[in-house]
Structure 1
Amino acid sequence: MQRIAIAAGLIGFMAIGQLHASTTPVIDTTRPTAPQIERIQAELAGHKTYSELKPADHAQVVNALSRIQEKLGSEGVLSGLHPAAQVDVVNDQELINTLLAKARADSRLVCRRETLVGTNRPQTICMTVAERAAARERSMDTMRKTGISRPEIIP
């Protein structure tokens, strides 16, 4: 019984660690921003970490990064700025964190064992979260266009 309690406790700590890791900011203005901005620009250019970032969101992130660089200048210190400029930098930081956190979550690869129609053998199907959402939306659109609202039960 103690082993089960210990295992449950470890799983709970791992879940809390994953939750904390997913909520950590992408860019943090309390630390030097120049290396953070360079890292984000490299990740954006690589198209792997943020592969599901929409072009409009990509442009917003790039513009916000350039505004932060412009406002912070070579010093990179938020506390040395005018209060209005500090608000602008923090707002840009929140925009970047929100867009990139969503893109990172949508870029996660999720694998599931599925039995395809016409076979009894399950296969592993791997898709990103965004690909699964797009596939779900396409199938819902197809059902709407064909007039299928829900399967009917024949008595």
Structure 2
Amino acid sequence: MQRMTTLTLMLGLALAATVQAKSEKSDVRFDANAPVADQIRSVESAINADDYSEIGLEDKSRVQQALGRIKIKMGDHERVEQLSPHDRTEIFNDQEVINTIMTRARADSRMVCRRERSTGSNMPQSVCLTVAQRRRAQEDSRKALNDSQRFNNFKP
């Protein structure tokens, strides 16, 4: 019995470590301690990936501008610690902009599937939408309801 409990605990820990490693691997974050050129390439490729499909044009432009500023500041240097303190601060600020936008875009791009019954049917169907698509649908529905209530309350 004790062996079974130990085995179950070990399998659970291994599974948790695997899930954590996958989630850490898929997140694109700019890190000051890693080589900058590799990070720039990973951010540029992630912008067009499905994991970040909900990144808007304005945010994509802001990320590309921040990457351009970082490339200029880095020049021939490979690591951030080789730069002056002023340049490091500016690169750190651009890294924060990139990390914030990419984190939000990844969260909005997460696919969520729900089993929903359509009107007039008892057969549930899977409806898969990104978090951002669900938010937009909810906002559009709320706006349409408010508009129809305003229209119905309008008396000429």
Return the TM-score normalized by structure 2: 0.78
Letter in 1 for 2:107: A
In 1, distance between residues paired with 2:64 and 2:52? 13
In 2, distance between residues paired with 1:47 and 1:55? 14
Confirm or deny that 1:121 pairs with 2:123. yes
1:101 maps to which residue? Answer: 103
In 1, distance between residues paired with 2:75 and 2:125? 53
Q: What is the RMSD of the two structures over their aligned residues, measured on CA atoms?
A: 3.0
Within 5 Å, give how 1:4-43 maps onto structure 2. Answer: 13=16, 17=20, 21=24, 26-43=29-46
In 2, distance between residues paired with 1:65 and 1:53? 16
1:141 maps to which residue? Answer: 143
Within 5 Å, give how 1:28-107 maps onto structure 2. Answer: 28-44=31-47, 46-107=48-109
Cα deviations by residue, 1:104-126 (Å, 9 ceiling, x for unpaired): 11111111101111111110000
Conservation of the 8 A alpha-carbon contact between 2:66 and 2:94: yes
In 2, distance between residues paired with 1:42 and 1:25? 10
1:74 Cα offset (Å): 2.2
In 2, distance between residues paired with 1:91 and 1:30? 15
In 2, distance between residues paired with 1:25 and 1:78? 18
Q: Which deviates further from its counterpart, 47-56 or 26-35?
A: 47-56
Structure 1 runs, 4 residues or longer, greater than 3 Å off: none
In 2, distance between residues paired with 1:95 and 1:40? 12
Identity %: 36
In structure 1, stretches of 5+ residues that fail to align are 149-155
Cα deviations by residue, 1:50-100 (Å, 9 ceiling, x for unpaired): 211111111100000111111112222211212111111001001000001
Letter in 2 for 1:94: E
Conservation of the 8 A alpha-carbon contact between 2:115 and 2:125: yes
In 2, distance between residues paired with 1:49 and 1:129? 12
Cα deviations by residue, 1:6-53 (Å, 9 ceiling, x for unpaired): 5xx76xx57x938x739x661112100101111211222x34232111
Letter in 1 for 2:31: D
In structure 2, stretches of 5+ residues that fail to align are 151-156
More helix by share: 2
Return the TM-score normalized by structure 1: 0.79
